[in-house]
Amino acid sequence: MIEFLWIWAFALLPLPLLARLLPGKKAQQQAALMVPQLTQGMQSIEKPASRSKVYIILASLAWIALVTAAARPQWLGDPISIPSEGRDLMLAVDLSGSMEMEDMAINGRTVNRLQMIKYVMDDFIERRVGDRIGLILFGDTAYLQAPLTYDRETVKTLLSESLIKLVGERTAIGDAVGLAVKRFRKKEESNRVLILLTDGQNTAGNLDPMQAKELAVAEDITIYTIGVGADQMITRGLFGNRRINPSAELDEGMLTDLAQATGGQYFRARDVQELEQIYSTLDELEPIARETRQMRPLKALFYYPLALALIISALMALIPLVKRIFVFIGGLSRGVATR
């Protein structure tokens, strides 16, 4: 439904009529205008003493539109459910150089580890209706890319636009956890969960993972860690194909300890299917917040009548010019006809 925030503004509608009724000096009748003609020299055309009805109608419509805009119309939308209790979910994604390793596959197409995370996490974020979601990207250090928000589309967009080595080639896992703890401190009444995805070990940053773990335990933050990367991969060399372990540098011991100490779990994602299963498990371990309260969104509509008033004003300004053009064309045609 449409409602007006300042409905008293409609009391201004009669102002032009009142101004017209006020006693004042009558405007003197203007002299006739002389318009040149091609064959008849100068011909006088009297200007109407009163404005045309079209001009008055347009002016009235413009005034009504302006008053309507001043009344601040807004659309009151349908009720939307919001969570009765806060649930904060922070995603920390590794952008170090090792994420370039192309040991994953999506629909038969070989992709790197970050592309696989984006592919699966897009659906995971979409399902978290009612949760506040934030995004941390880390490499040589950790950066907050998106604060905790209900705007899932923005979080998805920021994740899809992230690039490997955007924040350096190394891995600052401790800094990522520490930054999440700092952001969670501003949300006292919530279920605080951190999901950390990495394919390596802590090689950079100012905060050691064990120190970060102590901070997370003190702030009652649950951490779920996910180790990304295949166990084996076939590479081609000068002496033929050989089998290697592309996840040899993954510190599973540290990630397991970090998760268990905070009441979470460590998961291993070797392919798309395993990562999808992990997210399904997380939906069960951290169910979406129950939606009991409702709100009705508001959308401002004042710019519609305001735009209409501007368009009408522009038309009113063009009317005299259009009239002069038609008079000139008419005189031109009559002059040609008399030849």
pLDDT, tens only, 68-127? 989 888 888 777 666 556 678 999 999 999 999 988 888 888 899 999 999 999 989 988
Residues 92, 129 within the same domain: yes
- Bridge partners of 268, per DSSP, are 227
Select from 292, 313, 328 the last residue of a domain: 292
Residues 86, 226 within the same domain: yes
> CB of 275 within 8 A of CB of 269?
yes
The whole domain housing 321 covers 2-77+299-337
Residues 200, 286 within the same domain: yes
Which positions of the chain have pLDDT values less than 70? 23-51, 80-86, 188-189, 234-241, 288-294, 330-339
Select from 273, 292, 311 the last residue of a domain: 292
Residues 86, 51 within the same domain: no
Number of domains in the chain: 2
Cα–Cα distance, 209 to 176 (Å, whole number): 9
Residues 159, 181 within the same domain: yes
Residues 197, 270 within the same domain: yes
Residues 193, 333 within the same domain: no
Residues 106, 192 within the same domain: yes
Contacts of residue 243, Cβ cutoff 8 Å, sequence gap at least 6: 232, 233, 234
State the pLDDT at residue 27: 46
Q: Where are the alpha helices (DSSP H) in the chain?
A: 15-21, 53-70, 113-127, 152-160, 173-184, 209-218, 252-261, 272-285, 303-337
The token duo for 259 is: 């998760």
Residues 164, 21 within the same domain: no
Residues 141, 268 within the same domain: yes
User: Given the structure tokens 């596959």, which residue do they identify?
Assistant: 105
> CB of 106 within 8 A of CB of 115?
yes
Residues 115, 243 within the same domain: yes
Cα–Cα distance, 21 to 1 (Å, whole number): 37
State the pLDDT at residue 49: 40
User: Given the structure tokens 């891995």, which residue do they identify?
Assistant: 171
Contacts of residue 75, Cβ cutoff 8 Å, sequence gap at least 6: 1, 2, 298, 299, 301
Radius of gyration, alpha carbons of the chain: 35
CATH number at residue 98: 3.40.50.410
In single-letter form, the type of residue at position 325 comes to I
pLDDT tens-digit series, residues 5-29: 888 888 888 888 887 777 655 544 4
Cα–Cα distance, 336 to 9 (Å, whole number): 55
> In 3D, which of 158, 149, 85, 176 has the Cα closest to residue 121?
158
Q: What DSSP character marks residue 166?
A: T
Residues 51, 155 within the same domain: no
